[in-house]
């Protein structure tokens, strides 16, 4: 049951993306201008709209934009319901708690924008439901360049584009969502409050940020410890992306340096040792009108005990989307993660295949269904393969 709960939490933490009707109403564009349907991969225009701060022009806000500002052009509501069938469990079929989310964002002035994504029924406290909430300032440098500054609760944009918000597969890739050690719960999808700066210059994007992760402190047994962290260290990251065609295909590099205090279980609040860790990543995407291939490889290191033993880790994923028609698409993803390069018994792999389709779409609302099958294998020789079937339906207003 612990494994099943973990899978359900993973699904709940990465709700499937749907085109936001409010932004279609705001811009008078159709969902298909920013998304390839039905897998919802972002097109070049969609990626640019996101990069600009949920606006078409990063530094202009005129009378027509002001006239378009209404409640239904700045906020959408999404409702998501899903059921899972997991082989070898009782009951075999389980229904997940429906997810209720508000998505809002757009221009506030010539320079300022905002983005808000909040899940009302996620987590134990109201703050747990906040996925992203940040203010963005765009500073024009030239006709071909502007500086993007964000502050609030956010994810590095490059991780969202290449995995967390990839669109088709339900659940984030294992390499982004799996803790690599028993003493540190850190995952690449656990970023939180801070700020970052990004230079957007023609096809090149260079970013750097300082963030507090939302990962709780743990003791040497891996148990989460409540209360403030005993260190004020901030995690830092840097990334570079080059788009090599007009479809926004690109290659990217990512680097993160972080610190996680591991507390003494016998003396709560007292650091036993500090895990100074890092992650390096190489990311790739090739986008066309009706299909997309993307993937990423990450490697890193964690300190795992008080004597300074380090464990190297690695993992990758590869994703392919194919939009056969606006109402029907197929997708597949392969995931692999090696939490400790010196101990291959900890390896995990997952194969995922699925179908999706647009049930209905208009300026007022849209709906998408997804049917996904996956198998997760564990190399420890103890944990059985996990076969899972998920049926999901999400509606956005």
**CB-based contact 94:61 (threshold 8 Å):** no
Nearest one of 78, 43, 58 to 321, comparing CA atoms: 43
CA angle 334, 296, 371 (to 5 degrees): 35
Strand partners, 292: 287, 321
Residue 244 binned pLDDT confidence (cut-offs 50, 70, 90): very high
Which segments of 304-379 are extended strands (E)?
Answer: 310-325, 328-338, 348-361, 366-378
Give the pLDDT band of residue 123 (cuts 50, 70, 90).
low
Query: Burial of 228 by CB count in 10 Å (0-12 exposed, 13-18 middle, 19+ buried)?
Result: exposed
178's tokens:
């799996």
Mean pLDDT of 38-42: 83
Do the Cβ atoms of 210 and 195 come closer than 8 Å?
Answer: yes
Cα 32 to Cα 21: distance, rounded to the nearest angstrom: 11
- Number of structural domains (the chain) is 1
Question: C-alpha 102: how far from its chain's center?
Answer: 17
Contact between 41 and 167 under an 8 Å Cβ cutoff? The reply is: yes
User: Among 127-141, 160-174, 336-350, which is the least confidently predicted range?
Assistant: 160-174
- Does residue 180 carry a pLDDT above 90? no
CA-closest candidate to residue 112, choices 158, 172, 61, 42: 61
**Cα separation of 288 and 290, whole Å?**
6
The helix or strand, by DSSP H or E, that contains position 196, with its residue range, turns out to be: strand 193-201
At 88, which CATH number? 2.40.160.10
Convert the pLDDT of each residue in 259-296 to its tens digit.
888 877 777 667 788 888 999 999 999 999 889 999 99
326 pLDDT more than 50 = yes
Domain that holds residue 325: 2-396
Q: Counting beta carbons within 10 angstroms of the beta carbon of residue 385, is it exposed (0 to 12), middle (13 to 18) or buried (19 or more)?
A: exposed
Report pLDDT digits (tens) over 335-372.
999 999 999 999 999 999 999 999 988 778 889 999 99
The C-alpha atoms of residue 129 and residue 243 are separated, in whole angstroms, by 33
Judge whether residue 127 has pLDDT over 90. Answer: no
Give the whole-angstrom CA distance, residue 37 versus residue 235. Answer: 36
**276 three-class SS:** strand
Say if CB 372 and CB 170 are below 8 A apart: yes
- pLDDT value, residue 66: 59
Distance CA 90, CA 84 (A): 12
């Amino acid at each position: 049951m612990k494994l099943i709960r973990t899978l359900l939490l993973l699904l709940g933490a990465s709700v499937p993306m749907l085109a936001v009707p409010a932004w279609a109403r705001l811009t008078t564009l159709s969902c298909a201008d920013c998304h390839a349907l039905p897998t919802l991969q972002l097109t070049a225009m969609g990626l640019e709209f996101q990069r600009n701060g949920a606006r078409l022009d990063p530094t202009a806000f005129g009378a027509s934009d002001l006239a378009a500002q209404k409640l239904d052009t700045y906020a959408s509501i999404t409702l998501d319901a899903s059921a899972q069938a997991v082989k070898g469990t009782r009951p075999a079929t389980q229904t997940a708690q429906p997810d209720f989310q508000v998505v809002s964002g757009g221009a506030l002035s010539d320079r300022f924008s905002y983005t808000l994504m909040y899940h009302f029924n996620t987590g134990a406290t109201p703050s747990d439901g906040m996925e992203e909430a940040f203010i963005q300032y765009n500073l024009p440098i030239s006709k071909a360049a502007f500086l993007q500054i964000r502050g609030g609760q956010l994810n590095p944009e490059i991780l969202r584009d290449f995995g967390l918000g990839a669109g088709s597969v339900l659940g984030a890739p294992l390499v982004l969502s799996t803790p690599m050690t028993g003493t540190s719960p850190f995952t690449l999808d656990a970023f939180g409050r801070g700020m970052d700066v990004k230079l957007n210059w023609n096809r090149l994007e260079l970013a750097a940020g300082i963030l507090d992760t939302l990962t709780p402190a743990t003791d040497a047994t891996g148990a989460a410890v409540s209360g403030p962290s005993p260190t004020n260290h901030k995690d830092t990251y840097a990334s570079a992306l080059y788009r090599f065609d007009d479809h926004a295909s690109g290659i990217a590099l990512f680097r993160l340096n972080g610190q996680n205090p591991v507390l003494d279980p016998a003396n709560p609040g007292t650091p036993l040792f500090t895990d100074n860790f890092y992650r390096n990543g190489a990311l790739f995407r090739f986008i066309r009108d009706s299909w997309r291939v993307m993937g990423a490889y990450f490697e890193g290191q964690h300190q795992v005990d008080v004597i300074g033993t380090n464990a190297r880790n690695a993992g990758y994923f590869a994703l392919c989307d194919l939009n056969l028609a606006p109402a029907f698409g197929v997708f597949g993803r392969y995931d692999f993660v090696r939490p400790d390069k010196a101990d291959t018994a900890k390896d995990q792999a997952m194969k995922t295949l699925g179908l999706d389709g647009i049930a209905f779409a208009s300026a007022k609302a849209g709906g998408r269904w997804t049917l996904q099958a996956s198998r997760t294998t564990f190399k420890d020789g103890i944990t059985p393969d996990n076969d899972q079937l998920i049926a999901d339906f999400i509606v956005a207003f």
